[in-house]
Structures are given as C-alpha cells and as structure tokens.
Amino acid sequence: MTAVTWNDGRLITLNGGDTASCNGNLNQGQLYALVFYNSAGNDANATVNVIWSQSQPPVKVTVPGTTGNQGLAALCFVSGSDTASVSISLTTADPGVKIDAYIASVKMPTNTSGINNVAAPIGATASFTKFTRFYGVPASHWYDVTLKSNINQFISVQLTENKANVVILNQQADPSNTIAYTGTTQNQVTVTGKTYNTYEYPIQGNGTQWVWVNADSAQNSQTATLAIQSLQATYNLFAKEKVDA
C-alpha cells in the first residue's frame, strides 16, 4: 500500500489500498476535475473514494472496467472554494483494481509528465489523444469552437477558472454514473449532450486561461478533433462595411 503526494496533480497510477493526497494546493475560486481511467485490464469496475471534507462523507466514483486499457474516463469535480485539499483512495475490496488519475484545471497538472499538454489550436484543428490537455489564453474577442467526433458517446471537458462544460457528442446513454461532484460543484458544471457528431459554439476571450481535456478512451479519441477560430477578422470586416456604407 502506497501513499502518494499529489500536490502537482500529475498523472499517477494507484492499486488497491493506495492513496494520493493533494494537500493545501487547491486555489480559492478555482474548479478542478479529477480524471480517472481504469487500467487494471480485467473488465471490473473500480470504486474511488474522494475525500474533500472532514465533516462530509467521501464521494464514491465508479470508474468503468475495461480490457486492453481502453476504457472511458470517470470525472469528479472539486472546488477550491470548498476545500484546499483533496485525497483519493482505492480499497482492496475489488481484487486487481488499478487506476490512472490526474487533476485537470486551468492550473493543474503543474507536472505534465505523461500528459499530452499542448497549446489550444487557435486558427487550426487538432486531434485529441488519451490524456490530452489543450490550454490557451484567447484574446478579448469572440471565437468559434468546434468539437467533432464520429465515435458514439465522445466526452470532453472545457474548463475555465470556476466553470466546466462536459460535452458529449453522439450521446447514447446517460453519463451521470461516471460524473461525480463534491460540495457545491454541481452548480458550476454544465453537461451538454448532443445526439450528433459536431458541436459548434461561441466563446469570448477575457484574458484568462481556457482548458479542454479528453475524458474518453484512447480508441474513441482517434478521430475526435478540436478547432478554435478567431472571429475578430469577420467582426472587423463587418465594422468596416458599416462605416463605408
């Protein structure tokens, strides 16, 4: 049984009986997504206990079982306004249990070893892979964001400092069994389910960081893409036409 110091939110692997603790490193006003993958390869679900309060019971998160390390992720949201610390643990009740986990936010992980941590594709299109984290600080104007996947039930998470949007493309099932919340975080999270393969929506940059992370399996990510297009040039064109008129 191992106790892991998890203050940097890095990608870790835990076995039954192991714990990981992020002590005093969650920032006031920031929202964090704990991302869990079942890596046991025995097709049995894993139960993760998320401890965020001394006065509230742990939140139990079910991480779907898989073979070949190809399973979907499970998510648990934690707010730095509720707690400065969080820890996770695996019991030994499920034989052979094993998970991979990391903390996603505008701040974390600060140690990105094992994470595909790349700049958001502003003006371009980029593919998701397992453990992908896109980050960027869009300028203070409007952008068009397009998520696309031909795979059923593709899940990604958009994070700003204190809000998250869980987007499901080609939704086939209710995702609530793999999304958990601690404290007040359910009020900060939007779940957007779409029955088609493309979701296009606007965002407005405000000088703060935006993050998109993959919450799906490796094979489901192979054809999933994120594209971010600045609308500033279009806006300037319309403004000029109005002035010239």
For 174, the token pair is: 């209710």
Residue with more model confidence, 69 or 144:
144
Q: Which residue has the tokens 């297009």?
A: 229
pLDDT for res 245? 36
- pLDDT for the residue numbered 173: 82
Buried b (16+ CB within 10 A) or exposed e, 107-129: bbbebbeebbbeebbbeeebebe
| CA-only gyration radius of the chain, Å | 19
Is residue 188 within 8 Å of 112, Cβ to Cβ?
A: no
* pLDDT given for residue 68 in this prediction: 59
**The one-letter amino acid at 111:** N
Distance CA 217, CA 69 (A): 8
pLDDT at 129: 80
Tell me which of 150 and 30 has the higher pLDDT: 30
46 contacts 63 by C-beta, under 8 angstroms: yes
Using pLDDT thresholds of 50, 70 and 90, give the confidence band for residue 223.
Answer: confident
Distance between CA atoms of residues 19 and 32, nearest Å: 18
Express each pLDDT in 134-157 by its tens digit: 999 999 899 999 999 988 888 999
Query: Residue 109's pLDDT band (boundaries 50, 70, 90)?
Result: very high
Average pLDDT over residues 173-186: 91
Give the global pTM.
0.90
Structure confidence at residue 219 (pLDDT): 59
pLDDT in tens, 34-46: 999 888 777 778 8
The reported pLDDT for the residue numbered 237 is 47
* pLDDT for position 7: 97
What is the number of helices (H) and of strands (E) in the chain? 2, 20
CB 35 within 8 A of CB 9: no
pLDDT of residue 188: 97
Least trusted range by pLDDT, from 57-71, 82-96, 139-153:
57-71
Check residue 234 and give its pLDDT. Answer: 55
Reading the block at residue 3, the tokens are 């106790």
Share of the chain above pLDDT 90, in %: 64
